[in-house]
Homo-oligomer: A and B are copies of this chain.
Amino acid sequence: MNTANSHSIVSSLRSYGISPTSQRIKIAEAIFSCTMHPSADQILAMVNSHRTMVSKATVYNTLSLFVQKGLIREVIVDPTKILYDANTSAHHHFYDVVTGELHDIDASEVSLPSLPPMPSDRIFEGLDIIIRTRPATA
């Protein structure tokens, strides 16, 4: 669910083993109520548009914690910044190389017939499919 009421956020955090402090709740709310895929900077701005402030360090640390605990995903498409994705179910992305916009692609739309064999002594960790686009108008 994408509705971000405090109650479900708190239980969500708990279910991922994250103690729900007020800053973490605020950051999670910002991410889960966001229609796009925000960067750390944008999350910082969203969180601090309200009265109370959250420091930059806490935002970065909290995002790392969320990723590590599996609450959210990092999307690596832009060498200059990390984008965060509240949707952790299997899906992929359109990435506009000019505007930087990122849009989800449902996994069912691009599922691979089969994965190639893993290299020796390696185990599967994740699959990212990124379709890079650019605006049609020159």
Name A residues whose Cβ lies closer than 8 Å to a Cβ of B.
74, 76-79, 81-82, 94, 96-97, 103, 105, 109-110, 112-113, 115-116, 118-119, 121-137
A130 touches B132 (CB 8 A): no
Closest B-chain residue to A74, C-beta based?
Answer: B79
A136 touches B115 (CB 8 A): no
A131 touches B124 (CB 8 A): yes
Smallest CB–CB gap between A83 and chain B, Å?
10
Partner of A129, one of B82, B94, B129: B129
In the assembled complex, the Cα of A127 lies from the Cα of B127 at a distance in Å of 13
A134 touches B123 (CB 8 A): yes
Q: A76-B77, A119-B94 are in contact. Are A133 and B137 (CB under 8 A)?
A: no
